[in-house]
Structure 1
Amino acid sequence: MKKPIVLFSIAITSILASCASQKSTQNSTNVETTTSEFTPQYYSEYTLTTDLSHLSSNEKDILKLMIKAADIMDDLFWQQTYGAKIDITDAVKGAELDYVKINYGPWDRLDNEKPFLQGVGPKPAGAMFYPLDMTAEEFETANLADGKSNYTLVKRNRDGKLYTIPYHVNYKNQLQNAAGYLVKASELAEDPGLKKYLQLRAAALLNDNFYASDLAWMDMKNSNLDIVIGPIETYEDQLFGYKASYSSYVLVKDVEWSNKLAKFVQYLPELQRNLPVDDKYKAEKPGTDSDLNAYDVIYYAGDCNAGGKTIAINLPNDEQVQLEKGTRRLQLKNAMQAKFDQILVPIANVMIDESQQKNIKFDAFFSNVMFHEVAHGLGIKNTVNGKGSVREALKETQSALEEGKADILGLYMVNQLLNKGELEGTQEDYFVTFLAGILRSVRFGASSAHGQANMICFNYFAENGAFEKTANGRYKVNVAKMEQAMNGLSELILTLQGNGDYEGVKSLMTTKGKISADLQKDLDKIKSENVPVDIKFKQGLEVLGLN
């Protein structure tokens, strides 16, 4: 046991409850903390690079500017999720420092947000978006005009009253620098679509109005390069699910793979019509200006780089843009291949029945992940009974149920396209690979939206006989019963969303959104085999040969 040393003072936060419908309190006291022996989960390193030889000199210079802008998003996310990065990174060393950087703080994102530094309390459910001592009841009573905006921080004034401040005001100096890099990149851009998007996105960072830049991004079809940048997902706000976190991906298009995927967009209206649910829950028409593309991602920053790494993107999140133009679905092929080779295949070797290990295939994994993202555009965005949008009606439960919808409707879409002869392989390939994918994902725990979604799917499948445990403790898929369970869960989730059934969703999560003791034993077995929980990246200008 190494000798403990004094590290730093950090707010210990006690979260009594995180639902808006309950009274919750976040109490803050400063304490001295010390290191302790800890065993970090195993992340396999992967180098983020791609062939840049086909890019022009201008395009390479644009990539440099994009990465500089992305680095600013990384700093902003630190402020949102933890506070001053330097307070913790200057206080820890060695393995602890590496793990702090992976998790953007002292809480293990792939182990139900457990603190891994001694003396650190639970992670604040509202991160740094709200005052640490604010109650959920106080927030609701305050009825702040833009309190539920994705792009405001909630703070307390000297009189103790809550008020809001827009992101673009609170982070003004850093956002001006990021916008400056995007403007410089636009001046170098030869593709008209990329030029317009970079200009509008720079402006959006400075006023938090992302609609025009989202439309421009949707219209950008031919650029070799792309950047996703800004406050995007709301998963970090586990108190209400309102506040968006800063994030960025820098991307280089894989033209050959993108051409293979383009044909699938035409089937979206037909797939929507055929959803296994009553007609009123599928009356909306998905945008058909959507596109599917494959990219190699060369840089992650901020929210998307924290803990488990995203391998596919479905954006924009703005429902108005989705209804007008659909979404773009970006498959991050090199990161996806890394997770398949280094994580999914080893898990399958441990947990999938020997007779079905031949069904674990990268093309099936790629398609399952891709159609998860496509499926976000299917279903329903507004309730059928006057409760407003699904997002508004389901409040903090919306993110997890939406991810569950995408999981199950993605598999439904794969099954439909297989039946049409538009995908290669067999049902068994896609279903077995899907189950192995759940086992990969639930190792993140069930505290996140994705974790809860995976557990809802896993437990629903288990209850409906979609798989069995063999005598040697491995999983074996029953294809016919999994197809039936897939349709049943699709109907259940779409109905809950369409009805805006907040209490029904909470009940579903309570009964099916948790890891059972039996499953935990299987996850422990996977861990004992030293299978990586995820990947961490070696990335940057030097890796790309652009320094």
Structure 2
Amino acid sequence: MKKFNKTSLLFFGLSLAVSVLSCTSSEQKTAEKTKKNGTDSLLDYVDNRLKIYEKVKLTTNLNALSVSERKVLPLLIEAAKIMDELFWKQAYPQRDSLLNAIKDEKTKQFVMINYGPWDRLNGDKPFVAGIGAKTLNGTFYPAGMTKEQLEKSDVKDKFGLYSVIRTEQDQLISVPYHVIYATELQRASSLLKQAALLTDDASFKKYLNLRADALVTDNYKASDLAWLDMKTNGLDIIIGPIENYEDKLFNARAAFESYVLVKDKEWSKRLAKYVAMLPELQRGLPVDAKYKKEVPGTDSELNAYDVVYYAGDCNAGSKTIAVNLPNDEEIQQQKGTRRSQLKNAMQAKFDKILVPIAKELIDAEQQKYIKFDAFFANVMFHEVAHGLGIKNTITGKGTVRSALKEQYSWLEEGKADILGLYMVTGLLQKGELTGDIKEYYTTFMAGLLRSVRFGASSAHGKANMQCFNYFKEQGAFQRTAKGTYKVDFDKFATAMNGLGNLIITLQGNGDRLAVENAQKAKGIIAPELQADLDRLSKKGIPVDIVFDQGVDVLGMK
């Protein structure tokens, strides 16, 4: 990797400034033209799209926190805010100039929700005058660089998680995050060090110190392992460059995000037993033996939390309500993962979105099966199911992630959806879960109708569209004459096994073109379904939630 010197950084900064000024000038000219023509279509669009979000306050029971935890929590939130700033630099670094050029307050609000001028829940449609389509390259790669150019280059870190690709003297180079974002990462690191000094929990202290070091070195493995070792902590923070969704070109580079969490210790105790069952469930997967030889790690935890702060990537687009980390396949196989259920955010989505959707689109006779416990279990086992299946291809193409590149995330989310349902089915049969299978299947169906509304730009949206279309072809549900959906419970189970087999096979083969073709064939919303989804919008049923959050919302000021 070539050294990225101060001159290069200055050149990059000047280039960005020119880009910002050019963009702003273009926006202003287009805005003036739009005003002269009396066109208010974009303003109308924004006005309508703002209504798809329901605001939710993120709170928790502060009385359950110790004295030291009350001191630590504000520091964690401050560190999370820095991840938000860093994600803006990754998603749309011209934020301030864009906001200054916009006069309409609602458009400004919508820009803030979307971390830029593209509607994340509508295929990244631009909604600001003068803004073109969102590029695949984003800020991770030079404008105009093709996949082939990078693949054929001699850049050592060409698909690195924690670097960007830039051009210097007509050559592609790799620049580490800890270099290009040094100032912000040092501030975040210092806040985590301060929190470590204040916490009474030894394992949390160790993690905070190691994570602080990781932020300024891009070496995250030690902190990931320390995070998995934590057992007694009441607070938690997930922080750093983590998920790959924002990199649309290769799905390789990680985006900054943070969750600040307060553990629900009672719920966590109830969930602890399920991870130990992964090896047995792996052996029973509905796929050929060669695709399920790997043994899932079981030294991990399944916990429930109140989330009190979202920042960066996880706060953009559809809001995450459960987390399965670390993403490092080596750590997953060696030690497992931690599955974090964000219970208060999950309850908000169930109450504000899923229940109203079910009342409109689920057959009247089956609406009685829509239950929060089933929703919680379906989401929870989605995260657990990331640990099932296959991590390394059977065709010598390396890991599934490296083989599938930009096609990896959506298929992996689809795998977790369907194997999560497989787990629910198996655990009910074993008596390890209580309830009626009809509740889990019907609530899953309502969940599909909720998640396909996230659109084609979302990995989760593509995964749910694939599942919907596959289940429809298999007769797992019918659309009634009244325009509602009725589950066929027997065929639902058959379709579940069939789709699970298909996805694991695609992953194990590591055939990127086959996965891309599957996405093009199944990851689409047909006109009939779109008309039904439009009914939800006309009824004013929100698509997703946005948060009122921070120390003032928590009452800590």
Match of 2:272 among 259, 262, 268: 262
Q: Secondary structure of the residue that 2:243 maps to in structure 1? A: coil
**Match of residue 10 from structure 2:** none
> Is 1:96–2:103 an aligned residue pair?
no
Q: Secondary structure of the residue that 2:262 maps to in structure 1? A: strand
1:17-96 pair list within 5 angstroms: 32-34=29-31, 36-37=42-43, 38=45, 39-41=48-50, 42-92=52-102, 93-96=104-107
- Asked whether the 8 Å contact 2:140–2:165 carries over to 1, the reply is yes
> Is 1:520–2:520 an aligned residue pair?
no
**Cα drift, residue 11 of structure 1:** 4.9
**Match of residue 468 from structure 1:** 478
> Which shows bigger deviation, 28-37 or 53-62?
28-37
**Match of residue 392 from structure 2:** 382
Alpha-carbon displacement from aligned partner over 1:436-476 (angstroms, at most 9, x marks no partner) = 10111111112221111111111100000000011101000
> Is 1:301–2:301 an aligned residue pair?
no
**Cα drift, residue 143 of structure 1:** 3.2
Q: What letter matches 1:103 in structure 2?
A: N
Q: Secondary structure of the residue that 1:232 maps to in structure 2? A: strand
Alpha-carbon displacement from aligned partner over 1:78-134 (angstroms, at most 9, x marks no partner) = 000111321223333411111111100011111111011122111111221111222
**Cα drift, residue 189 of structure 1:** 1.1
> Is 1:211–2:221 an aligned residue pair?
yes
Match of 1:398 among 395, 399, 408: 408
Q: Secondary structure of the residue that 2:130 maps to in structure 1? A: coil
Return the alpha-carbon distance in structure 2 between the equivalents of residues 339 and 33 of structure 1. 38
Q: What letter matches 2:219 in structure 1?
A: N
> Is 1:333–2:343 an aligned residue pair?
yes
Return the alpha-carbon distance in structure 1 between the equivalents of residues 115 and 462 of structure 2. 21
TM-score of the superposed pair, with normalisation by structure 1: 0.94
Return the alpha-carbon distance in structure 2 between the equivalents of residues 179 and 94 of structure 1. 34
**Cα drift, residue 384 of structure 1:** 1.2
Runs of 4 or more above 6 Å deviation: 28-31
Alpha-carbon displacement from aligned partner over 1:345-375 (angstroms, at most 9, x marks no partner) = 0001110000000011000000000000100
Alpha-carbon displacement from aligned partner over 1:312-339 (angstroms, at most 9, x marks no partner) = 0000001111011110000000000000
- Asked whether the 8 Å contact 2:300–2:335 carries over to 1, the reply is yes
User: Cα distance 1:357–1:51, how it changes in 2: closer, same or farther (>3 A)?
Assistant: same
Taking only aligned residues, the RMSD between alpha carbons, in angstroms, comes to 1.5
Return the alpha-carbon distance in structure 2 between the equivalents of residues 144 and 530 of structure 1. 50
- Asked whether the 8 Å contact 1:9–1:31 carries over to 2, the reply is no
1:107-506 pair list within 5 angstroms: 107-157=118-168, 159-506=169-516
TM-score of the superposed pair, with normalisation by structure 2: 0.92
Alpha-carbon displacement from aligned partner over 1:397-435 (angstroms, at most 9, x marks no partner) = 111111110010000001001111111211111111001
Alpha-carbon displacement from aligned partner over 1:159-203 (angstroms, at most 9, x marks no partner) = 222111000000001100000000000011111110000000000
Q: What letter matches 2:133 in structure 1?
A: P
Return the alpha-carbon distance in structure 1 between the equivalents of residues 446 and 257 of structure 2. 28
Q: Secondary structure of the residue that 2:62 maps to in structure 1? A: coil
Return the alpha-carbon distance in structure 2 between the equivalents of residues 66 and 477 of structure 1. 44
Return the alpha-carbon distance in structure 1 between the equivalents of residues 74 and 409 of structure 2. 33
> Which shows bigger deviation, 215-224 or 124-133?
124-133
**Cα drift, residue 147 of structure 1:** 1.4
Return the alpha-carbon distance in structure 1 between the equivalents of residues 436 and 29 of structure 2. 57
Q: What letter matches 1:530 in structure 2?
A: G
- Asked whether the 8 Å contact 2:137–2:145 carries over to 1, the reply is no
> Which shows bigger deviation, 474-483 or 394-403?
394-403
Q: What letter matches 1:110 in structure 2?
A: L
**Match of residue 16 from structure 1:** none
Q: What letter matches 2:49 in structure 1?
A: P
- Asked whether the 8 Å contact 1:9–1:32 carries over to 2, the reply is no
**Match of residue 106 from structure 1:** 117
- Asked whether the 8 Å contact 2:238–2:258 carries over to 1, the reply is yes
Return the alpha-carbon distance in structure 1 between the equivalents of residues 320 and 380 of structure 2. 12
Name the one with the larger helix percent. 2
Return the alpha-carbon distance in structure 1 between the equivalents of residues 28 and 418 of structure 2. 45
- Asked whether the 8 Å contact 1:33–1:120 carries over to 2, the reply is no
- Asked whether the 8 Å contact 1:281–1:498 carries over to 2, the reply is yes
Q: Secondary structure of the residue that 2:63 maps to in structure 1? A: coil
Q: Which runs of 5+ in 1 are unaligned?
A: 1-7, 13-27
**Cα drift, residue 29 of structure 1:** 8.2
Return the alpha-carbon distance in structure 2 between the equivalents of residues 245 and 80 of structure 1. 7
Q: Secondary structure of the residue that 1:53 maps to in structure 2? A: helix
- Asked whether the 8 Å contact 2:385–2:416 carries over to 1, the reply is yes
**Cα drift, residue 142 of structure 1:** 1.8
Return the alpha-carbon distance in structure 1 between the equivalents of residues 534 and 394 of structure 2. 43
Match of 1:541 among 538, 551, 554: 551
**Cα drift, residue 228 of structure 1:** 0.2
Report how many residues are paired: 524
Return the alpha-carbon distance in structure 1 between the equivalents of residues 413 and 69 of structure 2. 35
- Asked whether the 8 Å contact 1:276–1:490 carries over to 2, the reply is yes
**Cα drift, residue 394 of structure 1:** 1.2
Q: Secondary structure of the residue that 1:446 maps to in structure 2? A: coil
- Asked whether the 8 Å contact 2:268–2:304 carries over to 1, the reply is yes
- Asked whether the 8 Å contact 1:126–1:236 carries over to 2, the reply is no
Q: What letter matches 1:70 in structure 2?
A: A
Q: What letter matches 1:251 in structure 2?
A: L
Q: Which runs of 5+ in 2 are unaligned?
A: 1-19, 35-41
**Match of residue 39 from structure 2:** none
Return the alpha-carbon distance in structure 2 between the equivalents of residues 84 and 114 of structure 1. 18
User: Cα distance 1:106–1:9, how it changes in 2: closer, same or farther (>3 A)?
Assistant: farther
Return the alpha-carbon distance in structure 2 between the equivalents of residues 526 and 30 of structure 1. 33
Q: Secondary structure of the residue that 2:101 maps to in structure 1? A: coil
Return the alpha-carbon distance in structure 2 between the equivalents of residues 212 and 31 of structure 1. 48
- Asked whether the 8 Å contact 1:45–1:537 carries over to 2, the reply is yes
- Asked whether the 8 Å contact 2:300–2:336 carries over to 1, the reply is yes
